[in-house]
Amino acid sequence: MDSPLLPEGAKRCSPTVFFFWTLPWLALLAWGGLSAFLCLYKALNQTNMSNVFAFALWIVFDLGVIALGAGAFFTGFLTYIIGRKELKDIINAAVIIGFICYTGALAMLGIDIGQPLRGWFIFWHANIHSMLVEVSFCITCYAMVLAIEFLPIILENRELDKIKELRLLGHNMHEIMAVFAATGTFLSFFHQGSLGGMFGVMYGRPFAARGGFYIWPWTFFLFILSAIAAGPCFTILCTKLTEFISRKKLVPEQAIQSLAKIAAWLLSLYMILKIADTLGWLYGVVPDAGQKFMDFYREGPYGVWLLVVEIIICGIIPAIILMIPKVRQQQGWLIFACLLNCTGIIFNRFVFIIVTLAIPVMPFDRFWGYLPTWQEWGVALAVIGYGVLLFSAAYRYLPVFPKERELNAVAE
Amino acid sequence: MEKEHGRGKHYKYGMVIDLDKCTGCGTCMTACAAENNVSVRSDESDKERSITWMQLYKITNGKEFPETEVSYFPRPCMHCDEDGRGGHHPSCVSVCVATATKLDHYTGIVSQVYTRCIGCRYCQAACPYHARYFNWWDGYFPKGKGLDRYLTPEVSPRMRGVVEKCSFCHHRLMRAKNQAYAEGRREIEEDEYITACTEACPVQAITFGDLNNPEHKVSQLSKSRNAFRLLEHLNTKPKVFYLSTKDWVRKLADNYLPDQFKSINKTTG
Amino acid sequence: MTPFSFEWLWNTEYTIFFGLLYVALGIIGCGMTFVIIKTALQVFGFMRERHFH
C-alpha cells in the first residue's frame, strides 16, 4: 500500500503489521495527551509536585532525555568537524534521536511551567544570571538546528526526492551541514553544562552546591562530560534495538565500535572527575555548611547506596567493559555496558534533582516523600511513545541507515 | 539589574523575632494571610501545598517529659542579601529566569512580580528556607463567609501557576511613603512601616525596622549577643534575626560540625 | 514591558550573553537563507547544480 514511499531496495514489514506496531505507542500518546490536558486545564494540582518537590518526575525525564540526546550533537561534531568518516553511517539515527529527545523535552517543559502562556518571558525578560535562561535559549536554538539537520533526511524520502526543488534544497543543506553542526555543538555544549550549572549554583542547597571556575560550577563541566559519554551509548542502544526488532544489520560494526570506544574514554575521564568532584564537595562544601557526609545519606531511602550505584555500578563498571576492545566487541557486553551507562546518567540527574530537594536543609525541617501521579507518568511516558513512533516512521519511510542495502545484500 | 546601586539613601528593612517571647499562638500566620490576600482551600491539611508566607515551625529539645522544652521558629521570607561570596544576588533572585524576583537595593526587600512569574519553580528549589509557595490551584476566596470582604485592596491576589512569598508587607511601605509625601516629609518614622505580623503579635516578639538605622530598635536588637540567623553557614545573609538565650534553640538554627557550636551561656549546655 | 518595547541593558554580561545568542541565531538564519537562495537560483537555472552520489 505504502510501498512507493519506502526507501529503495529496503525490506519493510507490511502496512498492517506496522499499524499494529504503532498501536501501543499511540495509546501512550493518548494517555499523555489526556494528562497534559488535565494539567493545563485544571492546573498543576493534578501532579504530586509540592512546594518541597518543586522539580519532580518531569524535570528528571527532561534532563535525562536531553542528556541521552547529546549523542546527536556529539556524533555530529565527530562526523562533520573532526571528520570521522565511519560515523556517517550512524549520524542520521543520532540526529533523529536528538530531535526526538529535544522536542519531547521542550513539550514537557511547556506543561511543567505554571503559566505556559508566559513561556516567552524567559526570552523577553531574560535574567542572564540564571542558568535556566542559558538552558532555555540554547535548547530552543538547538531544537531549530536539529530540525534543520533532520530536514534533509526527510527530503531523501523516495517520493519527496523526485521533486526537483526539494531534492536540490536537501543537497544544498547537506553541503553546509558542517556549519549547522558547529553551531549545534556550541549550543549543546553550553546548555548541557548549564543544566548542571543549574544545580551547582544553588548555594542554599549544600547537597547540590559546588565551587567552580568563574561563573561555572564544577557540575557545569561534569554534566557536559557525562552527556557526551552517555549520548553515544544511547545512540548505540537505539540502533541495536532497531536491528533487533527489524532483524537486520543496519550499521557497520566499525561505526558502533568507534562510538563505543570514544564513549569509553569519555566515561573514564568523567568517572575520574566525578570522584574528584565528590571528594572536593565532601571536604569543601559539606564542612562549610556545617554538615558531615552522613548528614546527606540518612534521610528516607537515600543512603550511601546512591553513590555506589552511580559511581561504581553505573560508572566504573561500564567504563571498564567499554574500554577493553575484546569485551566491547561482544554484543551482549556492549549492550549491557551501554545500558548501565545510560542508567547511570539518568540516576545522576535523579540524584541532583530529587534527592537535592528531598534532603531538608534546616535542622528542624522534616523529610518529605514524593511519588508521581498517573498524570505525571502519562506526560513523561508520552515522550517515549512519541519517540518510538517518530523513529519507527523515520526508519520505515526514510533512508536512515545509508549502509542498510549493502549490509543486507547477501541475505536477500 | 546592576545599575541600581549608588544613588539615593539605602534602607535595609529587617526583622528581629524574640523566640523566648514567642508562644507559638499563630497570630502572625493568620494576620499575614489575611493582610496579604492569601488564597484558601476548603481543606488545608495538605501542608506540602498550602500557602503560608509566615510559617511556624515547632521545635523541641528532644528530651523526655520533665525536661522537655518547646519553642517555635516563625519563618517569613528571609529577604536574603547579596551572598557575600562575590555573588550579587540572593539564591532565589539569581536563578529566576524571567527577572520576576528582585532584590531592591534601596529597601533590601526581595520582591516577587506575580504577573511576570512563569511558574518554573526554580526559585523554590534554590531557597533552603521553603519560604516560597506555588499556587497549585486557582485563587479562591469563599463568598458569603466574609472572607471576600476583607481582602486588602493594595495587595494583588495571585493567579494559579505562579510563585508567591512574604513581601515584608511592601504595600505598607508604599502607604507610609505616600503619607509622608502628603505631609511634606522626606523620611518615614520607625513605627509608620511595620509588617502585619509585627503588628499582630500579642507578645510583641517581632520587631521590624531599618537595620541600617542605628536608632531603630531592630538594628540594636540585631546586634545583641543573643541574635542569630537561620542557616548562617550557607552565607545567604538573611535580614530576619532571631533572639534566644537557650543554647538548644540557637543550635537548631543551623547545622554545626561537632565542637563548632559556641554557647553564649557558660552554665547550661 | 510591552512586547513592543525592546528591553536592552548596557552592561558587559548582558552584551556577551545576547551577543552570542544573536550570533548563533544569525548563523542559523544566514545558513538557511543561503541554502534557500542557492536552491532558488538552481531551480530557475541561474546556477548549475552539482551532482551527488
Task: Return the residue of A nearest to C3 by Cα.
Answer: A124
**Sign, CA torsion B227/B230/B236/B241:** negative
**Exposed, middle or buried, B79 (CB in 10 Å: 0-12/13-18/19+)?**
buried
Question: Is the confidence at residue B42, as pLDDT, over 90?
Answer: no
| CA distance linking residue B12 with residue B241, whole number of Å | 13
How many CB atoms within 10 Å of residue A411? 9
DSSP A249-303: --S-HHHHHHHHHHHHHHHHHHHHHHHHHHHHHHHTHHHHTT--GGGGS-BTTB-
Residue B70 belongs to some domain of the structure = yes
Task: Return the residue of B nearest to A198 by Cα.
Answer: B95
Its domain, for residue B213, covers: 2-251
Query: How many domains, in total, are found in chain A?
Result: 1
Residue whose C-alpha is closest to residue B242's, from B72, B91, B81:
B72
| CA distance linking residue B141 with residue C14, whole number of Å | 42
Using a CB–CB cutoff of 8 Å, tell me whether A148 touches chain C: yes
Q: Three-state DSSP class for B134?
A: strand
Residue A10 belongs to some domain of the structure = yes
Its domain, for residue A61, covers: 3-400
Q: What is the ipTM of this complex?
A: 0.91
C32: closest CA of chain B, how far (Å): 29
Residue with cell string 493568620? B30
Task: Give A6's DSSP letter.
Answer: S
Residue B268 belongs to some domain of the structure = no
Give A-chain residues touching C39 at CB under 8 angstroms: 165, 168-169, 172
Q: Which chains touch B (3 or more CB pairs under 8 A)?
A: A, C
pLDDT in tens, chain A (412 residues): 778 888 887 888 899 999 999 999 999 999 999 999 999 999 999 999 999 999 999 999 999 999 999 988 999 999 988 988 899 999 999 999 999 999 999 999 999 999 999 999 998 888 888 999 999 999 999 999 999 999 999 999 988 989 988 999 999 999 899 999 999 999 998 889 999 999 999 999 999 999 888 888 999 999 999 999 999 999 999 999 999 999 989 999 999 999 999 999 999 999 999 999 999 999 999 999 999 999 999 888 999 999 999 999 999 999 999 999 999 999 999 999 999 999 999 999 999 999 999 999 999 998 888 999 999 999 999 999 999 999 999 999 999 998 888 888 754 4
Using a CB–CB cutoff of 8 Å, tell me whether B56 touches chain A: no
| CA distance linking residue A71 with residue A93, whole number of Å | 10
Backbone angles phi, psi at B133, to 5 degrees: -125, 140
Contacts of B224 (CB under 8 A, 6+ apart): B243
Residue A412 belongs to some domain of the structure = no
Residue B135 belongs to some domain of the structure = yes
**Exposed, middle or buried, A294 (CB in 10 Å: 0-12/13-18/19+)?**
exposed
Q: Which value, in Å, is the radius of gyration of the alpha carbons in chain B?
A: 19
User: Which among A48, A51, A121, A191 is the top mutation candidate for probing chain B, defined by the most B β-carbons within 10 Å of its own β-carbon?
Assistant: A51
Task: Return the residue of A nearest to C5 by Cα.
Answer: A124
Amino acid occupying residue A354? I
Of A51, A287, A357, the CB nearest to B134: A51
Q: Three-state DSSP class for A315?
A: helix
Residue whose C-alpha is closest to residue B57's, from B71, B40, B43:
B71
Of B46, B73, B128, the CB nearest to A361: B128
How many helices (H) and strands (E) chain C has is answered by 1, 0
Give A-chain residues touching C38 at CB under 8 angstroms: 172
Residue A332 sits in a domain whose CATH number is 1.20.1630.10
**Number of Cβ pairs < 8 A linking chain B and chain C:** 5
| CA distance linking residue B114 with residue B132, whole number of Å | 12
Residue whose C-alpha is closest to residue A135's, from B134, C21, B99, C26:
C21
Query: How many domains, in total, are found in chain B?
Result: 1
Q: Could you tell me the three cell numbers for B62?
A: 528532644
Residue A257 belongs to some domain of the structure = yes
Query: Per DSSP, which regions of A104-240 are E strands?
Result: 212-213, 216-217
User: Which among A120, A132, A165, A171 is the top mutation candidate for probing chain C, defined by the most C β-carbons within 10 Å of its own β-carbon?
Assistant: A171
Q: Three-state DSSP class for B116?
A: coil
Task: Return the residue of C nearest to A130 by Cα.
Answer: C17
Q: Are B60 and B68 in contact (CB under 8 A)?
A: yes
C11: closest CA of chain B, how far (Å): 8
Q: Could you tell me the three cell numbers for B4?
A: 541600581
| CA distance linking residue C20 with residue B14, whole number of Å | 40
Q: Per the CB < 8 Å rule, is C17 touching A183?
A: no
Give B-chain residues touching A112 at CB under 8 angstroms: 120
Residue B267 belongs to some domain of the structure = no
Task: Return the residue of C nearest to B115 by Cα.
Answer: C1
Q: Per the CB < 8 Å rule, is A141 touching C52?
A: no
Backbone angles phi, psi at A389, to 5 degrees: -60, -50
Q: Per the CB < 8 Å rule, is B96 touching A127?
A: yes
Give A-chain residues touching C53 at CB under 8 angstroms: none
How many CB atoms within 10 Å of residue B263? 11
| CA distance linking residue B49 with residue B39, whole number of Å | 12
C35: closest CA of chain A, how far (Å): 6
Of C17, C31, C52, the CB nearest to A180: C31
Residue B174 belongs to some domain of the structure = yes
| CA distance linking residue A255 with residue A262, whole number of Å | 11
Beta bridge partners of B228: B242
Give B-chain residues touching C9 at CB under 8 angstroms: 1-3
Interface of B with A in 1-40 (CB under 8 A): 1
pLDDT tens digit string along B74-128?
Answer: 999 999 998 656 566 899 999 999 999 999 989 999 999 999 999 999 999 999 9
CA B216 to chain centre: 18
Residue B54 sits in a domain whose CATH number is 3.30.70.20
Residue A157 belongs to some domain of the structure = yes
